Amino acid sequence: MEYALVTGASRGIGKAICLRLADMGYNIIINYMSNDEEAKKTQELVKAKGVDAILMKFDVSNQAEVDAHVENWINENKDKSISVLVNNAGIRKDNIMVFISPEDWHRVMDITVDGFYYVTRHVVKSMLSKRKGRVVNIVSLSGLKGLPGQTNYSASKGAIIAATKALAQEVGKRGITVNAVAPGFIKTDMTHDINEADYKAMVPMNRFGEPEEVAGVVAFLVGKDSSYVTGQVISVNGGLYS
Ligand code: NAP
């Protein structure tokens, strides 16, 4: 009864990751914040692959909600285990830094950085006792290179890249790997305001990526072939930055 918990999984990259991990035989816990309709669609698609699909609605940045759902689920389901965690929930609130409101600064940091901490600490605690687990953090090109108009987002993703490397060193001896995937431009709701025709020339592969192309790299980091890969950041960006 192995489960994969994917945060921010109602839509976009998270949804594609759920479907790919379901193909690998994992039962899936689908976290999302508000979009019940899209979350149910993801749940139906996962179930159609013959595995369990649980909806878990909570805001990753709200510690009490995370405790009530993630910690409780782990405590109440001793016969099951979350052996894969994909920290994918994220938002953008872009502006040049002098115009970023304190609310928009904190919202981005709260979801990406605090959310990572609140969710991961419960799941890794349980992985440590089982001496097995895979953690994959979805970061961004913005966290590697820094992008103007995204100091809040770049800072949050950069923090998770550093946390990935630190945590990987803490838990490696217990058979747990921790890696990050850094997408470039991927076609989801998050980038619906960025016109591919205007920006694709910046990308050596001359196109935006598909969510499934990110999910494929997550599948590698979760699967057997990456058993000796930890503390790494793998870019999925069509050659935009290396
Ligand atoms: P998306 O299409 O906007 O989907 C965002 C997902 O996150 C939704 O499932 C949303 O749930 C969920 N979410 C947002 N805030 C949440 C919260 N506080 N608690 C729990 N869930 C929350 O985004 P995406 O493009 O798939 O992005 C997924 C990840 O990839 C993010 O971390 C993003 O930063 C990263 N990324 C994306 C791109 C890109 O080009 N798309 C590039 C680099 C990195 P609801 O449906 O309930 O709102």
User: Which of 62, 65, 66, 88 is the pocket-test mutation for ligand 1 (most atoms within 8 Å of CB)?
Assistant: 88
Of all protein residues, whose CA lies closest to atom 33 belonging to ligand 1?
90
199 C-alpha to ligand 1 centroid (Å): 21
| 199 catalytic per annotation | no
- Are 157 and 142 in contact by the 8 Å Cβ rule? The answer is yes
**How confident is the prediction along the chain (242 residues), in pLDDT tens digits per residue?**
899 999 999 999 999 999 999 999 999 999 999 999 999 999 999 999 999 999 999 999 999 999 999 999 999 999 999 999 999 999 999 999 999 999 999 999 999 999 999 999 999 999 999 999 999 999 999 999 999 999 999 999 999 999 999 999 999 999 999 999 999 999 999 999 999 999 999 999 999 999 999 999 999 999 999 999 999 999 999 999 99
- For residue 181, what is the enclosing H or E element? strand 176-183
- Are 58 and 71 in contact by the 8 Å Cβ rule? The answer is no
3-state secondary structure 59-84: CCCCHHHHHHHHHHHHHHCCCCEEEE
The CA distance from 157 to 137, in Å, is 9
Residue 217, CA atoms < 13 Å, CB-side half-sphere: 21
- Are 169 and 222 in contact by the 8 Å Cβ rule? The answer is no
- Are 16 and 214 in contact by the 8 Å Cβ rule? The answer is yes
DSSP at 51: S
- Are 86 and 22 in contact by the 8 Å Cβ rule? The answer is no
Going by C-alpha positions, the residue among 215, 211, 111 that lies closest to residue 159 is 111
Antiparallel, parallel or unpaired: β 27-32 and 2-6: parallel
User: Which of 6, 164, 188 is the pocket-test mutation for ligand 1 (most atoms within 8 Å of CB)?
Assistant: 188
Which pTM was predicted? 0.99
Place of tokens 């001359």: 206
Query: Residue 183: what residue type?
Result: P
The CA distance from 65 to 230, in Å, is 29
Q: Helix, strand, or coil here: 169? A: helix
Our answer on whether the CB atom of 69 is closer than 6 Å to any ligand 1 atom is no
118, 153, 199, 228: which one is catalytic? 153
